[in-house]
Amino acid sequence: MATTFHDVTQNSEEWFSLRLGKVTSSIASDFMAFDGKPFGDGAKKAALRIALERITNRLSEGGGFSNNHTDRGHAQEPVAVILYEANNFATVNNGGFFDCGDYGGSPDGLIGDEGLIEVKSVISSVHYETMLRGAPDPKYKWQLISHLDTTGRKWVDFCSYCEEFPRELQLIVYRVSAENNGVQEDIRRLRNRRLSFLKTMVETTETKIREAIKHS
C-alpha cells in the first residue's frame, strides 16, 4: 500500500478528517493486546468506533477523546520539542498524517529524512519509572512500532517530559531503531495483527451494522 504524507496540523479539523475510519498508530496497543489470541475488549471498542465512522462519515464518540492528561500533553508538548531540538541540535518538523489506506499514523514530529519523535508529557511518578527502566514506557511500545511501519523511517525517539523535574532531567529520550532485528520482528507481528483486526473485527462489525440498518 502506497503511503501519502499530509502536512496537516494535529488535532485540526483536516487532521481528524484524514484519520476518519482508519486504524491509527494510537490504537495499536488495543489490537496488539493478547497477540496470538482472540481480540480483547479494547480492540472490540476500537473496531466499533472505526466501523461507525466509516458508516456515518463522522467522528465517533471517543474518537476525539480528551481529558486533563491529554490536554496537559497538548499544552506541554511544544516545550518538550524545544528542549529536544536544543539538546540534540536538531530541527523537528510537523508530523502531519501518514495515510496508508485503511491505516495510518501521526508522529509528533519528523527529523530529517530518517527520524521521528513521539512525545509524552507525564506526571512525575511515570517519568521516574521511565528513568529507572532505561527504556520507553511499554504502554507505548506498539504505537512506536506502528510509527516506524507507517512512516518507513529508520528510528523513533521516545521522549518522556515532566516539567516538575529539575531542568536537566525534564526530558529523557530513548531511541528505537527499525534496523534492530527484534524491532523488525515486532513490525512483522504488527502488520499481521493489524490485517487480522481490519478483516475480522472492523469489516465484520461494519457489515453487521449495515445489515442491521438495512433491516430496521
**Cell digits of residue 65:** 477523546
Count other C-beta atoms under 10 Å from residue 17's C-beta. Answer: 13
H-helix segments, 1-67: 13-19, 28-32, 41-56
Which tens digits make up the pLDDT trace of 165-197? Answer: 999 999 999 999 999 999 999 999 999 999 999
Give the start-to-end residue ranges of the domains of the chain.
4-214
Taking the whole predicted model, whether its pTM rises above 0.85 is answered as yes
Confidence of residue 65 (pLDDT cuts 50, 70, 90): low
**CA-closest candidate to residue 26, choices 150, 187, 168:** 150
Q: What is the pLDDT of residue 70?
A: 59
The span from the CA of 151 to the CA of 107, in Å, is: 9
- Assigned fold of 4-214: Lambda Exonuclease; Chain A (3.90.320)
Q: What is the mean pLDDT of residues 23-51?
A: 97
Task: Report pLDDT for 216.
Answer: 82
